[in-house]
Amino acid sequence: MARSRYDWEAIERDYRTGQYTLQQLSDIHGPSRSRISRHASEGGWQKDLTQAVAQRTREKLSRQQHEEVREGVRAPTDEELIESASDNNVLVQACHRQRLKQYREMANRYAKLLQSQMARDTITVQTKSGDPAEVDTPLKYLGECMTYGTRALESVIKLERQAYGMDEENADHPPERELTDDELDAQIARYAAQVDGEQ
């Protein structure tokens, strides 16, 4: 049997950690994303180490904070470690909640804008010559706006429920573990672009 030019065992190890996208695996190891995906599917690969990696990362970060203690000072107890980690979690959750408040305000602004357009039954468009013109509000436009608005609101509600621990299924997974700051920033940017694009 011919030897594969790719180290599929190494690719599977990296895949299982859940730390890499298919594109990143492709960049690191060589095969295309689709080939890696097909190999993973055929081999039954699972990202079964993702939670273990995340847990170990949290443990290391928590311990690292407390190991940076001056010589001669006692090591923190588990209770102190838990207290410190929970303080960090509260800060992260508060940040998420503040950002979600911004989401909510954008969704409300979007809804008010759409309501005013519906009440006027007209929208301002730009003609081919570049001049503004009032036209009857097209139903397709209203439907698309409603779809964008409800999707944005649905996402805000879902994220708020996570951030405030309102869903039972999230009881074992604090909201800060669901989204990183970068992921939350990316979602805010997408929603802001949707709202701004409709104005």
| pLDDT at residue 129 in the model | 93
Identify which has the larger pLDDT, 71 or 56. 56
Can you say how many angstroms the Cα of residue 14 is from the centroid of all Cα atoms in its chain?
A: 22
| pLDDT at residue 18 in the model | 78
Identify which has the larger pLDDT, 157 or 62. 157
Helix (H) or strand (E) holding 133: strand 132-136
Half-sphere exposure of 20 (CA within 13 A, CB side): 19
| pLDDT at residue 120 in the model | 87
| pLDDT at residue 133 in the model | 93
- Phi first, then psi: give them for residue 5, nearest 5 degrees: -80, -5
Residue among 44, 52, 42 at smallest CA distance from 18: 52
Average pLDDT over residues 64-82: 63
Place 1 in a pLDDT band, splitting at 50, 70 and 90.
Answer: very low
- Least confident stretch, 42-51, 110-119, 136-145, 166-175: 166-175
Average pLDDT over residues 61-68: 60
Average pLDDT over residues 31-46: 90
143-187 per-position pLDDT tens digit: 898 898 888 888 888 888 877 767 655 445 555 456 677 777 777
Average pLDDT over residues 128-138: 91
Exposed/middle/buried for residue 47 (C-beta within 10 Å: 0-12, 13-18, 19+)? middle
| pTM for the structure as a whole | 0.41
Average pLDDT over residues 64-88: 66
**Pure H helices in the chain:** 8-17, 22-29, 33-43, 50-67, 78-120, 139-163, 175-178, 181-197
The rounded distance, in Å, linking the Cα atoms of 160 and 90 is 15
- Least confident stretch, 12-21, 101-110, 118-127, 183-192: 183-192
| pLDDT at residue 35 in the model | 93
